[in-house]
Amino acid sequence: MPPEPSAGQTLSAREAAALLGVKLPTLYAYVSRGLVRSTPAPRGRARRYRREDVERLAFRHRGGGRRIRSPLSWGEPLLETAITRLSPDGPVYRGHRLDDLVTEGLRFEAVAELLWSGGVPETDDAIEARWTALDLGVDAAAVARLIPDGATPMAALQVLVPALALADPGRYDPRREAVLPRARALIRRLAAGIGLPDAGRANDALQADSVAQAVAVSLGARSAHAVRAVETALVVCADHELNASTFAARVTASTRADVYACVGSALCALSGPLHGSVSEQVEALLIEIGRPERAEAVIHERLRRGEHIPGFGHPFYRQHGDPRARLLLDAAQPLGTRSRSARALAGLIEAAQAAQRPPPNLDVGLVAVTAPLGLRPGAAAGLFAVGRAAGWVAHALEQVETGHLLRPRARYAGPDAPGEEGMLA
């Protein structure tokens, strides 16, 4: 016989009815249909009602009788963090508004240090003394041979990170003072690694003076305007609270896995078509559009077929649009619109607005930076990965310091779940 539920696991009739938002007769009807289990109260004739059943039924009521999205899907806050706060005006890194950091021209390395420790190095010399990586950490040519021609920068990083882990036997040291130097070198190497399988370009990027310059060299864009736009993009991408890839990094960190494992698991999540590779869908859409005057027809044809228009709208920034996109579109203006892709993107944004689509989001903003430079497909997603690595490390460090394993419970809703049939009949 299963043990009797404790007092905390049951509710009185009035408590159960209030939680469900129904009258007592309706509660009793649910009980008679097996949707809510009841047990005798310790004294008197009253009965107690299983809190688990009541909460499950209330959860489904809130969905209007349908299976609704998990609370983990843009639901209630799940974890406490002191790293980034989301506001309608954009993310706030450790109390510093993103647009202020961009306006001030803060280097990406300084923003990463801010996310990791809450403080900013006082001088560029202090940054450069910490952020060094004399080589790729592995044989660049050997890694390049594992990456097929035409692979995206994101795919190259997914090969590089495990190789770097295997080459670092000291990676299991969990102390912050051991993790931070590895994190700095790792991000420098990610910036070089997006140039793979071109090993020569990756090695050249390691000689650059900053992460932004290394990214620009890796992607084949060396102009001063390109470096400034890349710097802005890295800062804009650095963190965005508990997005899917960051949550993956935190789950991995909670098991006490090393920093390479945290970044590697985050990369896998970022590569999905609902996360970091949305920018690749935007790039493909620009190829489909070709000439800017075709943008309106392409959008309407996609809508006619019931297809998604990637790169527009954001679940959090519903009212005024994604402020990160505005920052990136502004940063891209000095790059001009001479390239075919840049002109197609301008036409896409104009046509989307005319079709009353939501404003552009981060993914369109990233493509706005890479398209004028004529960079290879996947460059925007690679840029995203290098920038977001700063946030992955910050959240991994914070998760380790909480001292607990992330292991949420599942609410079972299979065929033998109580109340599965005729829930709201």
Helix segments in 123-243, DSSP class H: 124-130, 140-145, 153-166, 176-193, 199-205, 211-219, 224-237
> Both 251 and 327 in a single domain?
no
Same domain? For 340 and 205 the reply is no
Peptide bond into 273 cis (omega under 30): no
Q: Is residue 79 part of a domain?
A: no
Predicted confidence (pLDDT) per residue in 188-215, tens digit: 999 999 999 999 999 999 999 999 999 9
What mean pLDDT is predicted for residues 145-163?
96
| Mean pLDDT computed over 363-375 | 97
- 153 and 216 share one domain: yes
Q: Is residue 331 part of a domain?
A: yes
State the pLDDT at residue 65: 43
Task: Evaluate whether 46 touches 38 at the Cβ level (below 8 Å).
Answer: no
Q: How far apart are CA 248 and CA 403, in angstroms?
A: 17
Question: What's the maximum distance between 2 C-alpha atoms anywhere in the chain?
Answer: 83
Start-end of H helices in 63-117: 98-104, 108-117
pLDDT at 66 over 50: no
Do residue 268 and residue 330 come from a single domain? no
Sort 372 into a burial class: Cβ within 10 Å, 0-12 / 13-18 / 19+: buried
Does residue 308 sit in the same domain as residue 382?
no
- Torsional class of 22: left (φ above 0), alpha (ψ -120 to 50), beta (otherwise): beta
State pLDDT tens for residues 304-326: 998 999 999 999 998 889 999 99
pLDDT given at position 62: 60
Question: What is the predicted pLDDT for the residue at 170?
Answer: 95
> In the predicted model, what is the mean pLDDT of residues 122-150?
89
104 and 49 housed in the same domain: no
We report the CATH number of the domain holding residue 48 as 1.10.1660.10
* DSSP conformational letter for 312: B
Is the pLDDT at 265 greater than 60? The verdict is: yes
Q: What percent of the chain has pLDDT over 90?
A: 72
- Is 413 within the bounds of a domain? no
Do the domain assignments include residue 252? yes
User: In the chain, how many domains are there?
Assistant: 3
Question: Tokens at residue 413, please?
Answer: 């809703």
**Rounded distance between C-alpha atoms, residue 216 and residue 234, angstroms:** 11
| Residue 395 sits in the same domain as residue 258 | yes
Task: With respect to residue 217, please indicate whether it lies within any of the assigned structural domains.
Answer: yes
| Long-range CB contact pairs, 288-291, < 8 A, 24+ | 289/344, 289/347, 289/348, 290/340, 290/344, 291/343, 291/344, 291/347
pLDDT digits (tens, 9 = 90+) for 399-422: 999 999 999 888 787 777 665 444
The answer to whether position 418 is within a domain reads no
Q: How confident is the model at residue 276 (pLDDT cuts 50, 70, 90)?
A: very high
Residues 234 and 297 in one domain: no
Residue 69 has pLDDT above 80, yes or no: no
Residue 183 lies in a domain: yes
Do the Cβ atoms of 60 and 53 come closer than 8 Å? no
* Local confidence band at 2 (pLDDT 50, 70, 90 cut-offs): very low
pTM listed for this prediction: 0.82
- For residue 29 the two structure tokens come to 């009807």
| 273 shares its domain with 286 | no
In tens, the pLDDT along 3-25 reads: 555 555 788 898 888 888 888 98
105 and 192 co-located in one domain: yes
Nearest to 212 by CA among 196, 197, 182, 190: 190
Residue 139: φ, ψ to 5°: -70, 110
Note whether residue 411 is domain-resident.
no
**Domain extent at residue 288:** 278-373
The answer to whether residues 17 and 95 belong to one domain is: no
182 shares a domain with 38: no
pLDDT at 29 over 90: no
As given in the structure block, the two tokens for residue 72 are 């983990």
CATH code of the domain containing 98: 1.10.580.10
